[in-house]
Amino acid sequence: MRKSRYICWLSALMMTEGDFCAIRSANADLPLAVGPATIMISGMLPTSYSTHFVITLLASPGKEPLSTAFVESMLPTLALQDVVVNNTAWLKPGIACDLFVTHDNQDALDAKVHAAICDHPYDAVVQPASNRGKKLIISDMDSTMITVECIDELADFVGKKSEVSAITERAMNGELDFAAALTERVSLLKGLPLTMLQECYDERVKMMAGAKELLQTMKKHGAAAILVSGGFTFFTSRVSAELGFDEDHSNVLETAHGVLTGRVLLPILGKEAKLQKLREACEKLHISTNEVLAIGDGANDLPMLLAAGLGVAYHAKPIVRAQAKARINICDLSALIYVQGYQ
């Protein structure tokens, strides 16, 4: 028995990329009954690793489902990269599946997993297997909890959306100082009637798919929720109430005689303030940063994302995707329910 297992393991290591692709393709057509055999191959790899991680494979609702065949095809893929899959568990059929593995480096494991996914329309999040359920969610608002950038939409009411959007894009990519970019954009809104803010909210601000479900699930499990935004209190207060955040923090637009003056009140809430809000919340709740889920898409979210136990770049700018530990590029926010191990 030992000799046959050794030969099986050695054969796997000697396979060429073409051999591997053929096996992966074949696995996709195999019946479920052969699943345990594939798992056994991965378990044969000799290893001295001792850190336990979970890989959560995720499909977007309404798009190509996550199949059992694809999940099983991942096992020999990872085995060839010395990633030992100890167990698999479905969180929701067709949507989310956990692979429990042992490895010595999270970044290296993450790279291997995303290489294995190739061009398939799925997301994957790699994290330590313990303490998945977070006790605090702290999130950006624009293009994260809602589908638009509010300042860009306000600029449309004064015929300057293209100009403001270009500045927003550069600021979110980390090319511009956030405070300076915000000040410049707000100056272009001078004279906008306050009634237009409510019109903008009613007509253009839409909640991100999965946002309400994520908040409801986390609060059901006792988590606190904070919305932090480089946007404006007019919008964060309304989004916070609609989604169920406990508190919100953002910038205040100066007004006079029923219109915007083109100025934002100081201090400006930027990346340092977002990080500070995270730290203050942890102290208040008596939790560690490892117990925090942080979500954002722009460069001003990076310090907050990097400080959190689970910092997620959500449909984010390249600079954010490159540095964040976790990325959601395809799925909606409901994916983060399963990432925390909830069904």
Please state which architecture CATH assigns to domain 136-339: 3-Layer(aba) Sandwich (3.40)
Considering the entire predicted model, what is its pTM? 0.85
**Catalytic-residue membership of 140:** yes
- Rounded distance between C-alpha atoms, residue 139 and residue 274, angstroms: 9
Residue boundaries of the structural domains of the chain: 2-128, 136-339
Please report, in tens digits, the pLDDT of each residue of the chain (343 residues total).
Answer: 433 333 333 333 334 334 434 334 434 333 333 333 333 333 333 344 468 999 999 999 989 999 999 999 999 999 999 998 999 999 999 999 999 999 999 999 999 999 999 889 999 999 999 999 999 999 999 999 999 999 999 999 999 999 999 999 999 999 999 999 999 999 999 999 999 999 999 999 999 999 999 999 999 999 999 999 999 999 999 999 999 999 999 999 999 999 999 999 999 999 999 999 999 999 999 999 999 999 999 999 999 999 999 999 999 999 999 999 999 999 999 999 999 999 8
Residues listed for the chain: 343
98, 110, 123, 142: which one is catalytic? Answer: 142
98, 123, 140, 152: which one is catalytic? Answer: 140
Cβ atoms of 86 and 38 within 8 Å: the answer is: no
Cβ atoms of 293 and 136 within 8 Å: the answer is: yes
**Catalytic-residue membership of 152:** no
Q: Enter the DSSP assignment of 265.
A: P
26 Cβ partners below 8 Å, 6+ apart? none
- Rounded distance between C-alpha atoms, residue 289 and residue 223, angstroms: 13
- Rounded distance between C-alpha atoms, residue 329 and residue 108, angstroms: 19
- Rounded distance between C-alpha atoms, residue 253 and residue 269, angstroms: 12
Cα end-to-end span (Å), the chain: 39
